[in-house]
Structure 1
Amino acid sequence: MENIQRQHKKKNKKPVYILGAFLLLFGLFISVLVRPSTQSKALQELETSFSKKDIEMVWYKYKADLYQDEDFLYATRKKLSDLKLSEEELNECISWLPPAPTSLNVIIVPDLSRRITDTANNPHQITNDLLVLQTLWKSFVDFSKLKQDTKDKLIVDVTDIDQAKGQFGAVANALQFDLSNHKGKSNRLFFTDDLNKRFETSIKKMYQLAKDKPLGADYRFYLRRYLINHLKKPTLFDNYINKLVIITDGYLESENKPADTKIYGYGKAKNDYRSVLYPAVEIGNVLDVITMNRLNIPIVNIDLSNTEVLVCEVNERMTGKGYDFEILKTYWDDWFKRMKVKKMVFIQREQANNVTAKAVGAFISN
């Protein structure tokens, strides 16, 4: 009888145990819901951070859990941008933040001087240049078209201020292609057939105008006055790679310009350094001779640390006697390396156009 009573009491308490377990689980569930998440705690700490060091400490504190959390990453970048940091401080922050989306910024600057009408030294030069430009455009399109919400940009510019006026200016305006405002939709929709035709028509018109009125190509002046405004610097929200393409025979001989805008003089005995430079090609110490004679092209105060440079269609003249190419290459390499360029590519004028096209395409895509 007592056993029956004890079993009955246990049965009566069973619902109490079940209810207790339920209440315990329910309480744990509610505590999880109301407990601040890792993200919310991190965002709250960012709100009360008012220095670069404070923000950096919050970032490293929650980095392991929130490295790929877009809200936390955006809030961190936004908080840093509100501090109005110096360029040095900004670069330091960029170094420890995850890489921002990278966009391509292509600046093409063809030499529209008399080289394009010099059929003796540069036969079919306009045809060659147009092929290079078409290849650059196609490579840019291929690089960008499968993406979305990028800030890729391509422009074709002129070096001479006189060329930039009037009709040249109008053509140059038609040769600027910026995807910054093409948001929320595929880049495929940006690159229409009409845009391709606009590019092709505009470059042909540019060369026709240059053929009628060729002028000297002062690249040193261009770098100082214009290029500096076209280069893009990395920010907390965006990364850029600048690619500068210079289409030239390699000779710097701007008309009515100071001597330091030229590579080296011809014609006047006191300015003709071929007598020392040509033997240097045979010996292999061209740069030493250039530096010893203080012939280096003066640098421009410009930051090229995030810029890759391609100099193409370099072609020595018949008077170069097989020496000028090495001399020109040394001059350009030395000039840009002293300006801390990220990468330098130097392509001579090839006999086969497809070789040039392949090299130019690789420069844009890599």
Structure 2
Amino acid sequence: MKKIFYLLLIFTFFIQCGNPEKPKAENSVPTNNSAKNLNISILIDLSDRIDPEKNPNPTMEYFQRDTEYIKAIEKGFLDHIKSKKVIQLNDQMQVFFNPEPSDPKMNELTKELKVSFDKNTTKENISLIEKKYSDLPLQIYQSAIKDKKYVGSDIWEFFKNKVKDYCIKDDHRNVLFILTDGYIYHKDSKFSEGQKTSYLTPELVKSLKLSSSDFKAKIQDKNLGFVKANDDLENLEVIVLGINPAKGNPFEADVIKEYWENWFKEMKIKSYQIKSADLPSNIEPIILKAISNKN
């Protein structure tokens, strides 16, 4: 009996030695949605749409709405940062214009607004970002309005030549916010291919007679729209904020949105939203939901 007992002890000992407990990997990062890396870009249309004299709004000026939208984007971004462990951080946010403003001060401000977070980020860094995005965007708009050198908005050229390099990073969720009234125009990029154009203005919409409920059929039948600027942008999400149609055409906003939607589909952008220039209190929940990626 004793022999059997000793044999069992020896047998148990060898089993334990043959199956050592696997050591836990150091600094292992759990895989979950909060660990997803964010790359947020903000493209600002600094055309005369922001001019409070040409396009006044007594409720809230459009440039003020923009700055509040930007604050909401920054809030959503920082909420994401705060939801992650420091070791997981690999996120960034930046602001762009196209064309770039001629004022060197404006370009310096945009450099200040390019921020990134990694494992070396501190709480002080986060507080600094909050202050920057609270103060600097307003300075940019005020400078542009004071200068009054509105050169248009070359969003088409940005998508053609810059969006892949500036706004898309591997192993990131890439989100581009565009603050614009929906019209696109710049003298250096104005051209057409057949019935499609690189621009959209109130005058063009009027000349195409897109002012009745059959505007979709007309757009489809005549093959109207933006010239495709790029391809294979499936790794980019786009959220357009601030659509502000010219008065006089009850379908103007719908035409603008149809142009943008068809353009995005042609460029294989799968996820996009197009929102009107509503009050920031109404737009903020949309922005936060989009950044958090919660359905």
Establish whether TM, by shorter chain, passes 0.5. Answer: yes
Q: CA, structure 1 residues 27+147, in 2 after alignment: closer, same or farther (shift >3 Å)?
A: same
1:305 offset after TM fit, Å? 1.5
1:297 offset after TM fit, Å? 0.9
Structure 1: how far apart are the matches of 2:273 and 2:205? 27
SS in 1 for 2:136: helix
Q: Which residue of 2 aligns with 1:82?
A: none
- Structure 2 gaps, min length 5: 192-196
Structure 1: how far apart are the matches of 2:234 and 2:95? 21
Structure 1: how far apart are the matches of 2:11 and 2:51? 86
Structure 1: how far apart are the matches of 2:223 and 2:261? 16
Decide whether the 8 Å contact of 1:312 with 1:346 is kept in 2: yes
SS in 1 for 2:225: coil
Structure 2: how far apart are the matches of 1:100 and 1:144? 9
SS in 1 for 2:41: strand
Number of matched residues? 279
Q: Which residue of 2 aligns with 1:307?
A: 236
Decide whether the 8 Å contact of 2:241 with 2:274 is kept in 1: yes
SS in 2 for 1:190: helix
Deviations 1:22-68 (A, max 9, x none): 2342234224413588x79xxxxxxxxxxxxxxxxxxxxxxxxxxxx
Structure 1: how far apart are the matches of 2:223 and 2:25? 53
Decide whether the 8 Å contact of 1:109 with 1:156 is kept in 2: yes
Q: Which residue of 1 aligns with 2:125?
A: 190
Q: CA, structure 1 residues 100+216, in 2 after alignment: closer, same or farther (shift >3 Å)?
A: same
Instruction: Please state if 1:316 is matched with 2:251.
Output: no
Structure 2: how far apart are the matches of 1:206 and 1:322? 33
Q: Which residue of 2 aligns with 1:167?
A: 105
Decide whether the 8 Å contact of 2:168 with 2:236 is kept in 1: no
Instruction: Please state if 1:326 is matched with 2:260.
Output: no
Structure 1: how far apart are the matches of 2:106 and 2:242? 22
Instruction: Please state if 1:217 is matched with 2:153.
Output: yes
Q: CA, structure 1 residues 295+164, in 2 after alignment: closer, same or farther (shift >3 Å)?
A: farther
Q: CA, structure 1 residues 182+169, in 2 after alignment: closer, same or farther (shift >3 Å)?
A: farther
Query: Which amino acid counterpart does residue 346 of structure 1 have in structure 2?
Result: I
Instruction: Please state if 1:106 is matched with 2:40.
Output: yes
SS in 2 for 1:224: helix
Alignment of 1:3-18 (within 5 A): 17-18=1-2
Structure 2: how far apart are the matches of 1:153 and 1:363? 16
Deviations 1:93-128 (A, max 9, x none): xxxx99894122211111111111153435312111
SS in 2 for 1:109: strand
Q: Which residue of 2 aligns with 1:121?
A: 55
Structure 2: how far apart are the matches of 1:216 and 1:127? 19
Structure 2: how far apart are the matches of 1:122 and 1:159? 23
Q: Please, what is the CA RMSD of the aligned residues?
A: 3.0
Q: Which residue of 1 aligns with 2:180?
A: 248
Q: Percent identity between the aligned chains?
A: 23
Q: Which residue of 2 aligns with 1:357?
A: 284
Q: TM-score w.r.t. structure 2 length? A: 0.82
With a CA cutoff of 8 Å and minimum separation of 6, indicate the structure with the bigger relative contact order: 2
Query: Which amino acid counterpart does residue 143 of structure 1 have in structure 2?
Result: H
1:219 offset after TM fit, Å? 0.9
Alignment of 1:58-69 (within 5 A): none
- Structure 1 gaps, min length 5: 1-16, 41-68, 75-96
Q: Which residue of 2 aligns with 1:230?
A: 166
Q: Which residue of 1 aligns with 2:194?
A: none
Query: Which amino acid counterpart does residue 246 of structure 2 have in structure 1?
Result: R
Structure 2: how far apart are the matches of 1:289 and 1:263? 16
Off by >4 Å, runs of 4+ in structure 1: 97-100
Q: CA, structure 1 residues 302+173, in 2 after alignment: closer, same or farther (shift >3 Å)?
A: farther
Identify the structure with the greater strand proportion: 2
Residue number among 29, 32, 42 corresponding to 2:13 in the alignment = 29
Q: CA, structure 1 residues 231+307, in 2 after alignment: closer, same or farther (shift >3 Å)?
A: same
Decide whether the 8 Å contact of 1:145 with 1:188 is kept in 2: no
1:247 offset after TM fit, Å? 0.6
Query: Which amino acid counterpart does residue 317 of structure 1 have in structure 2?
Result: A
Query: Which amino acid counterpart does residue 107 of structure 1 have in structure 2?
Result: S
Query: Which amino acid counterpart does residue 155 of structure 2 have in structure 1?
Result: Y
Which protein has the larger Cα radius of gyration, Structure 1 or Structure 2? Answer: 1
